[in-house]
């Protein structure tokens, strides 16, 4: 049984964790909901830490989408590989949430969302330093990441609310 929560508060929390807390995009989405799904804050922050910047700043799958995927594992667990139906349900949830994100943003790929390559170009990952960018006012002005964090947090919240109604 899921705890009660307010989607708008969770979206605001995710954005705040990203902008003020210094968490990466994936961590911000995961930490907005980990308590509802029974995961310790420290564990949630640790396991989601490498997915920022499109997986370690490689600009692959957007960290917010990776965060949704991690949460999908808790929302629709597939922890026993012999249960094919559970894996199918988990993958369906991942595809549904990623599909909503793609529909809203045109892509789920970090480098495309940041405008580093044209949408749908299939261009290879950008060569970037593993060092995270400094979070300055200029950083927030030129990056859509805070908005994308909010979008992913909303998608998760809406899905959790839908699941709660079915309980």
Q: What is the pLDDT of residue 29?
A: 98
> C-alpha angle 119/124/130, rounded to 5°?
105
Q: How far apart are the first and last CA of the chain?
A: 7
pTM summary value: 0.92
Q: Where are the domains of the chain?
A: 7-166
* DSSP letter for each residue of 1-44: -PPP--HHHHHHHHHHHHHTT---HHHHHHHHHTTTTT--HHHH
What gap in Å lies between CA 56 and CA 114, rounded to an integer?
15
Tens digit of each residue's pLDDT, the chain (167 residues): 678 899 999 999 999 999 998 999 999 999 999 999 999 999 999 999 999 999 999 999 999 999 999 999 999 999 999 999 999 999 999 999 999 999 999 999 999 999 987 777 767 766 678 888 877 777 777 889 999 999 999 999 999 999 988 87
Q: What is the pLDDT of residue 101?
A: 98
């Amino acid at each position: 049984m899921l705890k009660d929560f307010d989607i708008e508060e969770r979206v605001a929390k995710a954005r705040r964790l990203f902008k003020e807390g210094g968490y990466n995009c994936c961590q911000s989405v995961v930490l907005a909901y980990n308590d509802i799904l029974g995961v310790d804050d420290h564990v949630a922050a640790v396991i989601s830490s490498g997915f920022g910047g499109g997986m370690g700043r490689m600009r692959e799958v957007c960290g917010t989408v990776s965060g949704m995927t991690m949460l999908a594992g808790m929302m629709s667990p597939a922890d026993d590989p012999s249960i094919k139906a559970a894996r199918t349900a988990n993958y369906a949830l991942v595809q549904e949430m990623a599909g909503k994100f793609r529909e809203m943003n045109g892509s789920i790929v970090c480098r495309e969302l940041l405008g580093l390559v044209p949408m749908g170009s299939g261009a290879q990952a950008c060569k970037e330093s593993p060092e995270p960018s400094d979070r300055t006012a200029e950083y927030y002005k030129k990056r859509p990441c805070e908005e994308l964090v909010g979008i992913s947090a909303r998608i998760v919240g809406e899905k959790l609310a839908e699941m709660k109604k079915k309980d």
